[in-house]
């Protein structure tokens, strides 16, 4: 991974729709060289996904919540089951297993409060080993993305 790879990565983190042409101009390499590097970065798993980010409001998901979940008993099994549940729940945009006060931190998106209540009832309050959870309602998405500047 050299300077060129890093430049390519930094560019496509903000916009995957850049053409090979613009990308090549940006990094100072031929189009084909850029393309080959991109292929390799994808194969190696450096690039995990190429995705579209939607406006939650414009698709009727006005509520964005960030919830810290603490498990009652943190056995391997309990944790794995909970991970699987979060992975499969469509409301869950992101889920992290963490150290600290919470065991899980979850970013989730719902149309409204009743929907959030349903989610809570189904996933936190129905004997799945959740001891407690702290809810934060998002008022402003100050910064959204996974941009991860790869420094030289």
Partner DNA sequence: ACTGAAAAAAACACGTA
Partner DNA sequence: TACGTGTTTTTTTCAGT
Residue 119, token pair as written in the block: 């989610």
Whether the Cβ atoms of residue 124 and residue 52 lie closer than 8 Å to each other: no
Using CB under 7 A as the binding criterion, the count of chain residues that bind DNA stands at 12
52 or 73: CB nearest a second copy: 52
- Smallest distance from DNA to CB 11, Å: 12
- Smallest distance from a second copy to CB 25, Å: 19
Chain positions contacting a second copy, by CB under 8 A: 1, 9, 12-17, 44-56, 58-61, 64, 66, 68, 83, 86-87, 90, 92-102, 104-105, 109, 134-151
| Alpha-carbon gap, residue 133 to 123, rounded angstroms | 11
- Which residue, 75, 95, 77, 97, is CA-closest to 86? 95
33 or 92: CB nearest DNA: 33
Residue 19 binds what, of a second copy, DNA, none (CB under 5 to 8 Å, by partner type)? DNA
Q: CB-based contacts of 64: which residues, under 8 Å, 6+ apart?
A: 56, 107, 108, 109, 137, 138, 141
């Amino acid at each position: 991974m050299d300077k060129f790879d890093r430049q390519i990565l930094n560019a496509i983190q903000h916009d995957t729709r850049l053409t090979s042409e613009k990308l090549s101009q940006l990094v100072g390499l031929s189009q084909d060289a850029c393309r080959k590097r991109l292929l390799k970065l994808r194969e190696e798993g450096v690039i995990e996904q190429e995705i579209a980010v939607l406006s939650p409001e414009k698709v009727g998901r006005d509520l964005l919540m960030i919830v810290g979940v603490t498990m009652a008993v943190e056995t391997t099994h309990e944790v794995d089951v909970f991970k699987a549940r979060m992975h499969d729940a469509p409301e869950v945009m992101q889920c992290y297993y963490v150290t600290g006060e919470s065991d899980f931190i979850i970013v989730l998106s719902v149309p409204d409060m009743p929907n959030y209540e349903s989610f809570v009832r189904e996933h936190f309050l129905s004997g799945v080993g959740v001891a407690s959870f702290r809810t934060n309602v998002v008022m402003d998405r100050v910064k959204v993305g996974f941009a991860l500047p790869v420094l030289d």
